[in-house]
Structure 1
């Protein structure tokens, strides 16, 4: 799992403890536990996440926040060993007390898991700031991040050449501007340049790199490289030639399969949902995206979508339903109302934001629309949720449906798959996150909707 004895020795040298050796003992103890089996298995899974992350340590300064890790792992091992002893009466008497001990140890391990975005940022910045003018040529393999990452370290001079002095803008957001670039080997790339001096830019840079670097999925954008030099922070990802879903839906691109085909629209939604499902259920560690929007769903040559925009993402802590985050008032229409009111994020927050994207795809409208208010006799802003949800809940999807794919009124059988998408979105927009479907339920419904469309050749 952690790449052999050489990595184990490196980790032990940096942390001052044979962490990977302790993790191996913990996994063995979990397999032989007789008491609190579910707690033992859950704790072992959290420790496995540490085993995946620890080999990425390469810098003594970055390892300092892990002081005390050995004590926590020893405590976890002792707890698991204690679950192997005693008869049934002893196990019954001590089970409840041990459950609380498990929660305490899990919280300690989570505190280390949540440090890794910071640790990764320290290590990356120290390595990149030390690059001299004799840096290896663009595409060199000598300064790559540890496996499983395959990204490269660039200098600002190389980034400037690759982007032709930042000539072509692909997109602009709060955190920075994205430019088109071409590497010396001919690869087209997207270059995200964080705004110099922006508050929180370093944190966003470190977080995006730490979370995106190990992710490998057909519907998640691939990290290719980064640069941290003289206050500049740059993230290099694969180039998606057909822009964002937002561009196609809201007029920044010429007519395309996205605007002309319901099948393509549902395929894009399904790809984005599968990306979120991978983050919520299969990534190691699990991830909450935190910023699912149509602008962060990018389209490649074959119109296959990839999810981007990981600057607001965070690793999901074990054993907790929600996590505190710094909340910014939602001015864009995607924000989960529960998150905005409580300041705590959960996987259901991504489900809510994806549902807003589903409404965008169905209606062709942006997440905030302007409508005529008779009382004031002026145009006033309204969220797309407030605009479209009442019609969907009343069974009148046709009143808000985008006419570009099918300008003529649609028959009942044509509406059926789109009604399934709309009903799924409506369930995902419940105010309380616990009442929303899981992302796997969303994926299943979108698969069913796409199957219905594909069955009907003349859709």
Structure 2
């Protein structure tokens, strides 16, 4: 009996080993690679050494990551290399992921027709993707430049049925893209399309009735937009399968199952209908998207030109009314003028049930335009003595800004006493409605992957404002309620009513009007009125610590070990000093297996951003580099600046007695669920 048991156990181990071997063999299939010529490195030089370190780091970090994804930056100056690694989500353990990514050096350094000596390389295996480059491609997820297509050549659908087969693949791709985009945890979807009428291939005994598909996005970057870009370009010319591999998202189809697990989506192909007017061969739903987009763009452009002409006439005839001229550079906003009647109908005459929130500017309402587009309308309070300047400021600044992590301004309406701004509507509203929600179900929606994505996207938005936009801007009111979330939970910075331009040649100035929200104010700004991009960095640091801890900066904490007042910053610093920084992590994250290394990195980064000396705080460019790097390379933070003392009510905050000229102010938490500023102190 013991011999039989031993034999059985050995047989089971043999089967398990064989299964693992087969999986690794499948993962080892090299689909494609791209060597971007234009720069090369010397063998055994610093850049090559950095690439080796980077590839090893990617394999190790991605295998330990819940999302099977990692980014890394190695080196300095001209030898810096940026890298990304992603494994397919049907991989069940980190060992398989690491084994796949560990094959990248074969392409990077191996002999043969590979990429030896090339600085910029993309590698596509069956179950993993690797890219490294001397350029920082991580800050701008652009899938077009790193796309690799390679349709399968096993079998081909005859010409007369190829168009319909390609259309079914597009239909499946669109369904999978939507599923992956809404699955914010994995950004991955698999599915099968079953057709009652089979497709005969060039192989006489081969009839295809099913199409298996898979799509995947990286945990960062716009997922649906990325996949739609790939779908728009799909054209397999009757091939029964194929793949479109990009760095930030990818699509694959086959006539047989090629992924592990059951399909997430099961679709039935509609019966074929003879077209009344045949489309040109190769036209698919993706092509139609482009055709419709071109038509709509032409119509919108024509309407925009007409409405802009009306706007000029309107403003010329109403010089006696309030003008929105920009005093610093004299530019006028290039915005679309909305009709008041249209906005009244869209918001049901600003009905209370459509109200999203109310703040210093006025109320914010949800609306639906006649063609179905949802909008958010900011309405200046008629009786308010403040807000007109902020409206003008926001209109003139935001009209010049275009970035994925900034809210999009759609237009303006000025009619009598009504002054309104129209924005894109973001259904998930603001970060604080999830992060500080009393309902556990809402807070559980903020997994660590989503929180890190929010931190990363917010950093990108601020970097754009500080360095990359045509006008350099200090936001001055960054906070959780001013971070709006789109359908994929990607962050968009909103509310530019308090924003200020700055001269990059003179990065620091002094203001006599200190505005914003207490708890997020840098000390040099709140006390002395010193204005620089570092006050936004300070706010970003506070926001990062709120995201990690799930606590408001206005919450009351126990007194620190040093006997100082219990604020969020003091609490985190106290735990950091004790070596127990992970104790600050939001308990909700413990239920979702957060990446401890990334949590520690964000705590470290947050503390660096809230240091007392502005010169010690990193720039937003340095912040982004650190988000890609390892905390072990960070400098040690100094003690956070600025403390608060709490009155009897936790909602009343008083600045510490460093400046008797600054008045106390209420810091009532935001309840707007949209974009609102708090204007205090004046």
Q: Assess same fold via TM > 0.5.
A: yes
What does residue 434 of structure 1 align with?
615
CA contact (8 A) 2:443 2:588 kept: no
Which of 363, 382, 387 is residue 201 of structure 1 equivalent to? 387
Structure 1 residue 405 corresponds to structure 2 residue 589:
yes
What is the aligned-residue RMSD (CA, Å)?
3.1
Structure-2 separation of matches of 1:408 and 1:153: 46
Deviation at 1:328, TM superposition (A): 4.1
Matches within 5 A, 1:89-104: none
Structure-2 separation of matches of 1:357 and 1:232: 34
Structure-2 separation of matches of 1:312 and 1:417: 32
Structure 1 residue 228 corresponds to structure 2 residue 393:
no
Change beyond 3 A, Cα 1:329–1:211: closer
Change beyond 3 A, Cα 1:311–1:401: same
What does residue 35 of structure 1 align with?
none
Structure-2 separation of matches of 1:439 and 1:273: 6
Give a deviation string over 1:102-132, Cα, whole Å, max 9, x none: xxxxxxxxxxxxxxxxxxxxxx89945958x
TM-score (norm 1): 0.61
CA contact (8 A) 2:430 2:481 kept: yes
More helix, by proportion: 1
CA contact (8 A) 1:333 1:383 kept: no
Structure-2 separation of matches of 1:232 and 1:381: 45
Change beyond 3 A, Cα 1:330–1:287: closer
Deviation at 1:336, TM superposition (A): 1.1
Structure 1 residue 278 corresponds to structure 2 residue 453:
no
CA contact (8 A) 1:266 1:446 kept: no
Which of 570, 576, 579 is residue 386 of structure 1 equivalent to? 570
Deviation at 1:162, TM superposition (A): 1.3
Structure-1 separation of matches of 2:491 and 2:605: 20
Matches within 5 A, 1:224-263: 224-251=410-437, 255-256=441-442, 259-263=445-449
Change beyond 3 A, Cα 1:127–1:382: farther
In structure 2, stretches of 5+ residues that fail to align are: 1-310, 319-330, 632-682
Which range is displaced more, 363-372 or 391-400?
Answer: 391-400
Which of 543, 547, 552 is residue 361 of structure 1 equivalent to? 547
What does residue 49 of structure 1 align with?
none
Deviation at 1:319, TM superposition (A): 2.3
Deviation at 1:220, TM superposition (A): 0.7
Structure 1 residue 180 corresponds to structure 2 residue 356:
no
Structure-2 separation of matches of 1:254 and 1:193: 32
What does residue 505 of structure 2 align with?
319
Structure-1 separation of matches of 2:384 and 2:494: 20
Which of 158, 165, 171 is residue 357 of structure 2 equivalent to? 171
In structure 1, stretches of 5+ residues that fail to align are: 1-123, 132-146, 375-379, 451-459
Give a deviation string over 1:195-232, Cα, whole Å, max 9, x none: 22433322101110111001111111100011122232
Deviation at 1:239, TM superposition (A): 0.6
Structure-2 separation of matches of 1:234 and 1:269: 30
Change beyond 3 A, Cα 1:193–1:156: same
What does residue 294 of structure 1 align with?
480
Change beyond 3 A, Cα 1:360–1:180: same
Structure-2 separation of matches of 1:391 and 1:125: 58
CA contact (8 A) 2:406 2:493 kept: yes
Structure 2 counterpart SS, 1:181 = strand
Change beyond 3 A, Cα 1:274–1:295: same
Structure-1 separation of matches of 2:431 and 2:317: 39
Structure 1 residue 447 corresponds to structure 2 residue 631:
no
Structure-1 separation of matches of 2:465 and 2:577: 30
Structure 1 residue 211 corresponds to structure 2 residue 397:
yes
Change beyond 3 A, Cα 1:365–1:327: farther
Which protein has greater RCO, CA pairs closer than 8 Å, 6+ apart?
1
- Which structure's CA Rg is the greater one? 2
Structure-1 separation of matches of 2:571 and 2:316: 49
Give a deviation string over 1:19-61, Cα, whole Å, max 9, x none: xxxxxxxxxxxxxxxxxxxxxxxxxxxxxxxxxxxxxxxxxxx
Question: Runs (4+) of structure 1 moved beyond 6 Å?
Answer: 147-150
More strand, by proportion: 2
Which range is displaced more, 397-406 or 245-254?
Answer: 245-254
CA contact (8 A) 2:377 2:421 kept: yes
CA contact (8 A) 2:479 2:543 kept: yes
